[in-house]
Amino acid sequence: MPRPTPAQLVYGSCTVIFSTLAMLLLSQTSSGVGIAVIAFAALALGLLVAMTVPLPKPRVVAVQQPPAVVEEAPVPVAAAASEPVRQRAAS
């Protein structure tokens, strides 16, 4: 199991503290069993909140592929011929 993040610890702790206070004030209980039940419920609620806090997603490193090599067609070069093609082929 991974370690809890600081955000999870803070959210869980605040939930336990505030829910315990709210339940004790709303129930107005003074018995030991009532206080124990409220404390247990607050701890369970704090654990639930801490575990449902979204975890940071790991960074995905994009693999860059080298640019595709595109072969270019040879560019025709117009050159002035000094002698006809037939004469060059014959000589």
Q: Is the pLDDT confidence value at 90 over 80?
A: no
CB 5 within 8 A of CB 53: yes
pLDDT at 86: 63
Question: What would the two tokens of residue 2 be?
Answer: 């991974």
The string of pLDDT tens digits covering residues 44-80 is: 999 888 888 776 677 777 777 777 777 777 777 766 6
Report, in angstroms and rounded to the nearest whole number, the Rg of the chain calculated over CA atoms.
39
Which parts of 1-72 fold into alpha helices (H)? 6-27, 32-52
CB 25 within 8 A of CB 14: no
pLDDT at 85: 61
Q: What pTM did the predictor assign?
A: 0.55
Separation of alpha carbons 21 and 38, rounded Å: 9
